[in-house]
Amino acid sequence: MSTKSFALSAELAEYILKVSLRENPILNQLRIETSKHPLARMQIAPEQGQLMALLVKLMQASKILEIGVFTGYSSLCMALALPPDGNIVACDKSEEFTDIAKRYWKEAGVENKIELKIAPALQTLDEFIKAGKTEFFDMAFIDADKSNYLAYYEKCLQLVRKGGLIMVDNVLWRGDILNSETQDKNSQYIQAFNQKLAEDQNIDLVVLPIADGLTLALKK
Ligand SMILES: C[S@@+](CC[C@H](N)C(=O)[O-])C[C@H]1O[C@@H](n2cnc3c(N)ncnc32)[C@H](O)[C@@H]1O
């Protein structure tokens, strides 16, 4: 939930984009349309999308679980990086937001790679677990309601394979993560979440200061 890297000077952030961003024209159009949306700040930053696409390729992923779609920028970044037979299960509760996403997925020719599940995401994940889809996914991306981050993470740990990667957005919460007296509920949820992962020996762990903070947790 940040369209810019907050932990860099504006000049350095601009420089990084200038020398490295290779945004697909349809991703760029989606970003421009989303920038006019009142909740535009929920979209990931373009350099983060590019990193996630690179990770999809590095992981040689073909099955991805996404929790939190909004207008579909992160799904589209990952779908464009997937092989032709790759698939993303994209979970969101909003038809209004994801109707925008569907237009762009279609325009980019990846609509067949993305299976949209409109429901509370915990319900969708529980259905997968009940259906025996444990260790099914190569990667997961968590970017929805912060109050459920820990629950999403624990379910994703069951749903990704050994050696699978869980990515988690907004783990620095625009710096408020450092505020031990914060009254912001989302800051408190993310503080507890980060602490839990710091103690979790089931994963290899990195926190990247890109955009609003991206955690990479590789399941052992
Ligand atoms: C931060 S946005 C996702 C941004 C997206 N990854 C992107 O790159 O643009 C969070 C999304 O989570 C969805 N969401 C919030 N709570 C949810 C829930 N309990 N179940 C499913 N989706 C939820 C919202 O509708 C919203 O679209």
Q: What domains are there in the chain, each with its CATH number? A: 10-219 (3.40.50.150)
Candidate of 93, 122, 141, 212 to mutate for ligand 1, largest count of ligand atoms within 8 Å of Cβ: 93
CA distance 65 to 75: 10
| Ligand 1 centroid, distance to 89 Cα (angstroms) | 13
Q: What is the atom index within ligand 1 of the atom nearest the CA of 148?
A: 19
Determine whether the shortest distance from the Cβ of 108 to ligand 1 is under 6 A: no
Q: What is the atom index within ligand 1 of the atom nearest the CA of 98?
A: 27
Determine whether the shortest distance from the Cβ of 70 to ligand 1 is under 6 A: yes
User: Residue 178: which residues within 8 A CB-CB, separation 6 or more?
Assistant: none
Cβ atoms of 196 and 152 within 8 Å: the answer is no
How does strand 114-118 pair with strand 137-142? unpaired
Mean pLDDT of the region 104-130: 98
Cβ atoms of 69 and 90 within 8 Å: the answer is yes
Determine whether the shortest distance from the Cβ of 44 to ligand 1 is under 6 A: yes
Percent of the chain with pLDDT over 70: 100
User: What does the pLDDT read at residue 66?
Assistant: 99
Res 8 pLDDT > 90: no
Q: Please state the pTM of the whole predicted model.
A: 0.97
CA distance 59 to 213: 20
Integer-rounded Cα Rg, in Å, for the chain is: 16
Q: What is the atom index within ligand 1 of the atom nearest the CA of 94?
A: 25
Q: In what order do the strands lie in the sheet with 63-67?
A: 114-118, 87-92, 63-67, 137-142, 160-169, 214-219, 203-208
Determine whether the shortest distance from the Cβ of 37 to ligand 1 is under 6 A: no
User: What does the pLDDT read at residue 1?
Assistant: 61
Helix (H, G, I), strand (E, B) or coil at 143: coil
Note the pLDDT tens digit of each residue in 176-192: 999 999 999 999 999 99
**CA-closest residue to ligand 1 atom 14:** 144
Mean pLDDT of the region 29-33: 98
